[in-house]
Amino acid sequence: MGREASITRIIGPENYARLQHFKCLIVGAGGIGSELLKDCILMGFGEIHIVDLDTIDLSNLNRQFLFRQKDIKQPKSTTAVKAVQHFSNSKLIPYQGNVMDTKQFPLHWFSQFDIFLNGLDNLAARRYVNKISQFLKKPLIESGTSGFDGYIQPILPGITECFDCTKKETPKTFPVCTIRSTPSQPIHCIVWAKNFLFNQLFTSDQSPTAGDSDDNDWGTDDKEEISRIKQETNELHDLQQVVHRQDKAHITDILKKLFIKDIEKLLQLDNLWKSRAKPVPLSESLIESTRYDHDSTDLSAVWGLEKQINQFIRVTGKLMDRISQEQYNIEFDKDDQDTLIFVATAANIRSHIFGIPIKTVFDIKQIAGNIIPAIATTNAIVAGLSTLTSLRLLNLLPYDKASSGLDVNMAFTARASNLSKDRYLSNPKLAPPNCNCAVCSKVARGVIKITIQGLEKLTLSQFIEMLKKQYGYPSETSLIDTSDQRLLVDFDFEDLLNRTLSQAKLRDGSVILFSDEEGDEREMYKQPLELYLDVVEDNAAALEVELPSLQIALFKPQKQDEKEEQEMTKEKSPANEENKNGIVILDEEENRGEKDNTATKRPRSPDQTLQDTKKAKTSKSSEYAEDIIELD
């Protein structure tokens, strides 16, 4: 009764009764997500759904207080719900899955919620939930933390800027030659040890030429260097057989190959060392005199070269013992001490050879595991701000009603925003949508409700004619399946016109882009139209196809020279100079797979605009007899 009385005093008894009928979706059950779950329960949301793909790791336990040692390897979402259900009056529904899986989470599933709360740690999922929010016109609160810093960004579709209105940096990659031939930073040696060496020796699906495709960003046109890199990969495949045979007597051969022979071959490429310091190979006597001893537990100390070699030999032997038990396929895991020490020692020995400062194992764990520092108190503050702000977005604060969505505030920590040095939190007003945003401004967006029968009967030709008639598009148009950037129909590609939508591989969750390729006499074009296919039950639909009611604006495309001039003007403008220390957008805690761990700044810049459908390449698809066009 105490907490109910407190929230009732804040929002009033009528609004509290309303709140008990609201449904919220929490995406992510990690550092921020588990705090969001607790706060939403304490506030009194009637129904709370929480989605997370991940399982619990040992490294989560220092800040994700709903989990315990016994929960390691268990699903985060279901474990979090079990931990809080004893004090919850809300209906709690957990899901283990990828929120971007349209089969498990179709659009109509998202439509049941009144608000979305993000506690995510990767860019792709954030962008996806942002787009779902735009399709359904549902409010979203985006959030993130990094160490002591964090932010929240309320998003009201059509009223405020969306997550994609500001440019986001993508994870940094390095040319092959930098990683394999000319490292100059510790990160280069760590990437070499983790992504190349470890995979070549301990992962069974690595062929002799894996990773050495001609499509690689080699970072050089030197054919001799590229040939050497490919040969080095083939030779490492031979060493993989030593590992598979569990031949510990030849561990020193691996060391000699990596840190003597390969380095000597590099030194023969004189062009590489005209402006660089030459690497110094290890001596055979040093390798031969080193023998492994006990495990090293001090992972926060900087080890000397002899100890690095010692621990490399020891841990390689341990991995050899494991490889047959793990079906000759050991995956790198930052919480697996054997794989971590192998990567750390290999990277540090290579750093020593190239005159690069070596790192502690603890430092390398953060870099190789893409760990962004996460602090429990920051997560709690950001989650609290998110849940309090949700009351404003849902119009549940009678004393602080917003006259428009732009009256709602963001929140940033002082260092994340650079707005104020005198207080921990800054709360600027939200901005309107960026007119150059390809997600919320450059396209019209809607949801098509269609039955299975409609998918199987309606041809692409009929479907396009329906769109032209409904929205007034001219005769020359294009249709793209945006899920794989596959061109279905264009003015000079009509091979699929007689295919039905299902034969064209369109299904529930497909997002298509319909574009005007002709324009009118004034060179004005219809706004591109992005449509989500929501497949409904036959008995739930009045028609086989139900198009949304939309107003499609006209626009005049900006010429390339005008764009370039505008960009140059922006770069030189004093306002842009002031914005160089603008608000920082931060990602939350750990990144896995395709994840972004780069803090980026918030000055506006146009996002990537719609791809030109005329720049296409033809590729064969096993699903079709004819050629399919894929956008570059």
pLDDT tens digits for 147-165?
A: 888 999 999 999 999 999 9
Say if residue 165 carries a ligand binding annotation: yes
Residues of 84-95 as b/e, b for ≥16 C-beta within 10 angstroms? Answer: beeebebebebb
Of 77-91, 274-288, 408-422, 525-539, the range with the highest mean pLDDT is 77-91
Integer Cα distance of 37 and 118 in angstroms: 11
Length reported for the chain: 632
397 in the same domain as 470: no
Mean of the per-residue pLDDT values for the chain? 82
Q: Could you tell me which residue, 620 or 114, shows the higher pLDDT? A: 114
Residue 565 banded pLDDT, cuts 50, 70, 90: low
Listed residues 522, 542, 558: the one ending a domain: 558
Task: Say if residue 90 is in the same domain as residue 128.
Answer: yes
Is pTM beyond 0.75 here?
A: no
Residue 84's identity, in one-letter code, is: V
Q: Does residue 579 lie in a domain region?
A: no
pLDDT mean over 381-387: 95
Q: Of the residues 426, 455, 488, which one is the last residue of a structural domain?
A: 426
Spatial neighbors of 536 by CB under 8 A, at least 6 apart, are 108, 449, 450, 451
String of DSSP letters for 516-575: ESS--TTS-EEPPEEEEEEEE-GGG-SSSEE----PPPEE-PPPHHHHHHHHHHHHHSHH
Amino acid 570: pLDDT: 47
Residue 583 amino acid letter: I
Q: Is residue 361 part of a domain?
A: no
Shared domain for 419 and 340, answered yes or no, is no
CATH code (residue 380): 3.40.50.720
Reported as half-sphere exposure (CB side, CA atoms, 13 A), residue 610 has a value of 25
Catalytically active residues are 177
Tell whether 384 is in a known binding site: no
Residue 220 lies in a domain: yes
In the predicted structure, residue 381 carries a pLDDT above the cut 50? yes
Q: Give domain status of residue 576, yes or no.
A: no
The answer on 540 and 450 residing in a single domain is: yes
- What CATH number is given to the structural domain containing 229? 1.10.10.520
Tell me the average pLDDT across 338-354. 95
Cα dihedral 586/99/368/322 (nearest 10): 160
pLDDT in tens, 394-419: 989 887 776 777 888 899 887 655 66
List pLDDT tens digits, range 434-451.
988 988 888 999 999 999
What is d(CA 430, CA 231) in angstroms, rounded to the nearest whole number? 55
Is 61 marked as a binding-site residue? yes
Is residue 376 packed enough to be buried (19+ CB in 10 Å), middle (13-18) or exposed (0-12)? middle
* Rounded-to-integer distance, Cα 342 and Cα 394, Å: 52
Q: Are residues 214 and 345 in the same domain?
A: yes
Q: 540 vs 249, which has greater pLDDT? A: 249
Q: Which two tokens stand for residue 180?
A: 């394999």
pLDDT, tens digit (0-9, with 9 covering 90-100), for 166-222: 887 665 677 777 888 889 999 999 999 998 899 889 987 544 444 444 444 444 555
Residue among 526, 538, 563 nearest 442 (CA): 526
One domain for residues 25 and 98:
yes
- pLDDT-based confidence at 50, cuts 50/70/90? very high
Domain of 467, CATH number, reads 3.10.290.20
Q: Which two tokens stand for residue 518?
A: 């002709």
Q: Are residues 271 and 318 in the same domain?
A: yes
Most confident of 31-45, 268-282, 314-328, 410-424: 31-45
Flag whether 592 is in a domain: no
- Last residue in a domain, options 530, 558, 586: 558
Do 36 and 163 reside in the same domain of the chain?
yes
Q: Is 52 annotated as a binding residue?
A: yes
Rounded CA-CA distance 190/362 in Å is: 13
One domain, residues 347 and 248: yes
Show Cβ contacts of residue 370 under 8 Å, excluding neighbours closer than 6 positions.
Answer: 590, 591, 592, 595, 597
Same domain, 298 and 320: yes
Same domain, 213 and 339: yes
For residue range 7-17, list pLDDT tens digits in order.
899 899 999 99
Q: Using 50, 70 and 90 to split pLDDT, how confident is the model at 596?
A: very low
How many domains are contained in the chain?
3
For residues 200 and 626, is the Cβ–Cβ distance under 8 A? no
Q: Which single residue is written with the structure tokens 């764009």? A: 563
Flag whether 125 is marked binding: yes
- Residue percentage of the chain with pLDDT more than 90: 51
Q: Which domain holds residue 512?
A: 444-558
Q: Are 606 and 436 in contact (CB under 8 A)?
A: yes
**218 with 345, same domain?**
yes
Residue 108 in any domain: the answer is yes
Position 565 in a domain: no
118 is in an annotated binding site: no
Mean pLDDT of 540-568: 73
Q: What pLDDT does residue 617 have?
A: 31
440 assigned ligand-binding residue: yes
Within a domain: residue 283?
Answer: yes
The residue-averaged pLDDT of 303-332 equals 91
What number of CA atoms fall less than 13 Å from residue 577's CA on the CB side? 4
